Amino acid sequence: MISAGRLDDEGYTGSIQNGVMKFSKGSLIVARARKINTLYLMHARMCREEVNVAADNAGELWHKRLCHMSQKGMRRLAEDNLIPEVKNVQLEKCTDCLAGKQSRTSFRTRPLIRRKALLELVHTDVCQVDTKSHAGSQYFVTFIDDHNRKLWVSPLKTKDQVLSVFKEFHARVERETGRKLKAVRADNGGEYRGQFEEYCRSKGIRLECTVPKTP
């Protein structure tokens, strides 16, 4: 839609000649329309936000209709006269295309290095299940030795039980193996902060916290 009154107030002039309608201000052409049957098809652009004009860009419209086809593909269709009213395809930057084609850089792969002895590093994490157990547990905590990948699993009713379960695990594995637990690696969750940090510090255990959403 074009406001003729707004165009007149801003000093724009219009002309219709040989099936072409133009709106201009000095040498600047704001809008151009081509006569099709008894109507004029408008191709317009915004000009310094001085005049509100509804732009009808056939190329952009068909780009969306064809599920954001590439400019090269649309030009081929236009050359074969398969896209009505489109002759020269020149697409502007499409924010939807840019967002859809973005990808996250893969994590750098590196050789797998395991610890050379038991209890040099233990990985731990807390997981939640959808259905509670008969005993009322909805979580479980895992402890995995980095050397031999041995796994210990303990059920939890609440996450604040992680510290008490870890204390039991710590005492048991050190007595069974005759070795000292040197380091624990967690995901920086709240259950591994505060008292858990203090306990590790008091026992000389190094607590390593990983960055969220990383391997």
Give the bridge partners for 36, in sequence order. Answer: 39
Tell if the pTM clears 0.75, that is, is over it.
no
Q: Residue 198 has what pLDDT?
A: 96
Q: Where in the chain is the domain with CATH 3.30.420.10?
A: 122-209
Q: What is the mean pLDDT of each run of 10 residues along the chain (215 residues)?
A: 69 81 72 75 54 57 85 86 77 84 76 90 95 94 96 95 96 96 93 95 95 70
CB atoms within 10 A of CB 145: 21
Give the bridge partners for 32, in sequence order. Answer: 22, 43
Residues composing the chain: 215
Q: Residue 48 has what pLDDT?
A: 47
Q: Residue 57 has what pLDDT?
A: 64
Beta-carbon contacts of residue 162 (< 8 Å; ≥ 6 apart): 126, 141, 156, 191, 192, 196
Name the 3-class secondary structure at 64: helix
Q: Reading across the β-sheet that carries 183-186, which strands appear in turn?
A: 151-156, 139-145, 122-128, 183-186, 206-209
Using DSSP bridges, classify how beta strands 39-44 and 122-128 pair: parallel, antiparallel or unpaired.
unpaired
Q: Residue 159 has what pLDDT?
A: 93
The kind and range of the H/E element at 101 are none
The kind and range of the H/E element at 183 are strand 183-186
Which CATH class name applies to 122-209?
Answer: alpha beta
Q: Which two tokens stand for residue 161?
A: 């039980």
Q: Residue 37 has what pLDDT?
A: 73
Q: Residue 54 has what pLDDT?
A: 44
